[in-house]
């Protein structure tokens, strides 16, 4: 949406909402740190409860990029990250304007939900919107990827594959299924404090030192094919089994690293045991765990309240966060 | 020690004590279930605090083998296991007498300490003693192996290697070092109840289904060479680092199994974190974990009291069991 301020000062404004996502087949390891090219293809579920709303205004009046997150002006280093990201658009589309970015994150902090995924997807979509750029969603996902790997998948809703591709242009997201078949998620926040080993550092150490990494890559590729087949057949149990197994394997790779490490904590084990007990009680649900201690439970949307009431015997209500399936990026009407 | 009862009834009595051991390079996977031939060579520390005392009397008066454990007559299936074991000696040495076996286990139950290791090592040694059989300790370890894999290593004291060998005759223990250089162990009993997945079942599932198993085998072989080098140099830190890394890798293999599983529990993570904190506080100590939730801390014997006082803030005193280094099998004088 390009705006022209009375012919005096040129400005272009765009806005977008993007949701975060949870990987069911994990992205674990980069083959190119600059371009955020992953070692393996991954697959995620977009979540509607957690999103970032971003408006961006490119204007001749800006001497520098300015970034407000949750209405607070951000530091130079934080702003610099977004400037680098916007430079990709500026260089490809001959834009020489600086921007004011205003983002509101509707992602609970410390829940192990990657707000960087929704943030960079929203920023990419808002920028496309500002100049009405002629790029399709798939190409947009390659831009989002340059901000944060998992942002690639947040361009689309439902189940989304991030194909590792063979180049920056082909490492993109594709929508697999809208996931509108009674799918939901319960997130158990077992520890909301900052994790000791970032996913960037964890990935790097694993790729470089874990003897299990080659087997991870091989089996993640097989898991991806199998989970797409399960999604195609709407086979929830198979979907869940592959999800849980894939997460376990990702975490196995960290135990083989030198020095070994784990993202698990006491509460991680507690939540895993809750999932086993729920399954024994006949409720189909499966956990996945990212590079942190929190546990995400893939379940039937219709089972969410049952699952939460079971978990509330073990966890506080404020440790439980629920979501149904989210959409892809969309334009926000600025009011 | 052969006894002759006044020329009327022939009887042969022997006795022995054997200590249990903790693997620092884990035995994880069998290549021959009948013969207890392992997939990889392993290395252990024999512990003096936990042992089995066994007396055996082979006598013409026995119509069947009789087995008392901790003074309680054992069931037919339990006795049958020992009969099968004794048959190895009976067939190799032309013995046609049945036996009465009396064992006292000084191994705390449920602490994740393999009493089968000390039990079969003691039984093998007592049998050798009864007939004064001409078999050396190394050969004796191949007999012990047939009762329980880890019993192989309990024939010797200190650091002991179990070489996987190429046959039943060559899959034997060899002593590496007496470990008399300020070595001790603290065992944290986080759960003393029966584990859900036995080590036999866990090994089997891992060997058959875990994509990480080949890398386990490769790196366990390298770990063994490196830990022997560390022992040779009396490099405690290196010894501990290899121990901890090897245990982490063994447990990683279970996460890759189908279905995935773990022996860890909440308390396992708690104890692991205690070890990290002890190291941060400058106390060199390293954990290892067997096919169960309990955590064994390899440490300086001179640090045991400091470590226990630190742990007692988190665990009850009855959850902490300590040991120094144990000897190999020895004859017990029957009084």
Condensed to tens digits (0 to 9), the pLDDT of residues A143-183 reads 999 999 999 999 999 999 999 999 999 999 999 999 999 99
pLDDT of B113 reads 80
Measured CB to CB, residues of chain B less than 8 Å from chain A are 211-212, 214-216, 218-219, 241, 244-245, 248-249, 251-253, 255-256, 258-260, 262, 264-270
ipTM: 0.91
CB B122 within 8 A of CB B128: no
Q: Which residues of chain A have pLDDT under 50?
A: 1-6
Return the bridge partners of A289, or none.
A295
Q: Is B22 helix (H, G, I), strand (E, B) or coil?
A: strand
Nearest to B256 among A241, A249, A268 (CB): A249
Q: What is the mean pLDDT of chain A?
A: 94
Q: What is the mean pLDDT of residues B306-317?
A: 96
State whether A248 and B265 contact (CB < 8 Å): no
Instruction: Place B194 in a pLDDT band, splitting at 50, 70 and 90.
Output: confident
Which residues of chain A are within 8 Å of residue B268 when distances are taken between CB atoms? 269
- CB atoms near residue A129 (< 10 Å): 23
Most B CBs within 10 A among A193, A253, A260, hence the mutation to make, goes to: A260
Which residues of chain A are within 8 Å of residue B216 when distances are taken between CB atoms? 211
pTM for the model: 0.93
* Cα dihedral B116, B119, B122, B125 sign: negative
Q: What is the mean pLDDT of residues B246-255?
A: 98
Which residues of chain A are within 8 Å of residue B248 when distances are taken between CB atoms? 255-256, 260, 262
Most B CBs within 10 A among A197, A212, A315, hence the mutation to make, goes to: A212
Of B311, B220, B285, give the one whose Cα is nearest residue B27: B220
State whether B215 and A256 contact (CB < 8 Å): yes
Residue B239 DSSP symbol: H
Instruction: Work out whether strand B42-59 and strand B66-69 pair parallel, antiparallel, or are unpaired.
Output: unpaired
pLDDT of B7 reads 55
State whether A269 and B269 contact (CB < 8 Å): yes
A6: left (phi over 0), alpha (psi -120 to 50) or beta: left
pLDDT of B8 reads 60
Nearest C-alpha of chain B: how many angstroms from A290?
15
pLDDT higher at B3 or A298 = A298
- Residues 6 or more apart in contact with residue B273 via CB below 8 angstroms: none
- The pairs formed by B207-211 with CB atoms below 8 angstroms and a separation of 24 or more are B207/B29, B207/B30, B207/B39, B209/B256, B209/B257, B209/B258, B210/B253, B210/B254, B210/B256, B210/B257, B210/B258, B211/A215, B211/A216, B211/A218, B211/A219, B211/A249, B211/B256
Size of interface A-B (CB pairs under 8 A): 75
Which residues of chain A are within 8 Å of residue B266 when distances are taken between CB atoms? 266-267, 269-270
pLDDT tens string B74-121: 999 999 999 999 999 999 999 999 999 999 999 877 667 888 999 999
Q: What is the mean pLDDT of residues B41-69?
A: 97
Residue B147 vs residues A21, B88, B105, B121, B141: alpha-carbon distances, Å:
52, 10, 16, 8, 10
pLDDT of A244 reads 98
Considering chain B, what percentage of its residues have pLDDT values greater than 90?
A: 90
State whether A253 and B252 contact (CB < 8 Å): yes
pLDDT of A112 reads 72
Nearest to B264 among A216, A267, A269 (CB): A269
Output b/e per residue, B285-322; b: 16+ Cβ within 10 A. bbbbbbbbbbbbbbbbbebbeebbebbeeebeeebbbb
pLDDT tens string B118-171: 999 999 999 999 999 999 999 999 999 999 999 999 999 999 999 999 999 999
State whether B266 and A270 contact (CB < 8 Å): yes
The number of angstroms, rounded, from the C-alpha of B131 to the middle of its chain's C-alpha atoms is 25
């Amino acid at each position: 949406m390009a705006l022209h301020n009375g012919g005096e000062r040129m400005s272009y404004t765009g806005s977008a909402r993007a949701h975060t996502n949870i990987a069911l087949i994990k992205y674990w390891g980069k083959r190119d740190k600059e371009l955020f090219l992953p070692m393996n293809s991954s697959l995620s579920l977009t979540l509607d409860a957690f999103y970032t709303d971003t408006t961006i205004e490119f204007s001749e009046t800006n001497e520098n990029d300015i970034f407000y997150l949750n209405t607070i002006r951000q530091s130079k280093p934080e702003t610099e990250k977004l400037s680098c990201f916007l430079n990709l658009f500026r260089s490809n589309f001959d834009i020489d304007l600086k921007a004011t970015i205003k983002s509101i994150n509707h992602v609970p902090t410390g829940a192990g939900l990657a707000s960087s995924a929704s943030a960079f997807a929203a920023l990419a979509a808002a920028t496309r919107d500002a100049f009405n750029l002629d790029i399709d969603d798939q190409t947009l996902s390659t831009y989002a990827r340059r901000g944060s790997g998992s942002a690639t998948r947040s361009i689309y809703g439902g189940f989304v594959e991030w194909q590792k591709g063979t180049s920056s242009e082909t490492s993109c997201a594709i929508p697999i299924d809208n996931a509108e078949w009674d799918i939901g998620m319960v997130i158990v926040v077992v520890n909301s404090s900052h994790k000791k080993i970032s996913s960037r550092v964890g990935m790097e150490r694993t790729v470089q030192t874990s003897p299990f990494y080659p087997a991870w890559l091989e089996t993640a590729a097989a898991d991806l094919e199998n989970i797409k087949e399960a999604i195609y057949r709407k086979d929830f149990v198979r979907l869940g089994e592959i999800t849980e197994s894939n997460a376990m394997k990702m975490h196995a790779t960290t135990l083989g690293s030198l020095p070994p490490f784990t993202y698990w904590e006491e509460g991680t084990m507690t939540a895993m045991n809750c999932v086993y007990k729920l399954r024994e009680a006949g409720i189909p649900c499966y956990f996945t765990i990212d590079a942190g201690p929190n546990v995400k439970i893939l379940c039937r949307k219709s089972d969410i309240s049952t699952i939460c009431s079971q978990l509330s015997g073990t966890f506080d209500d404020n440790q439980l966060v629920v979501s149904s399936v989210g959409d892809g990026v969309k334009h926000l009407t600025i009011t």
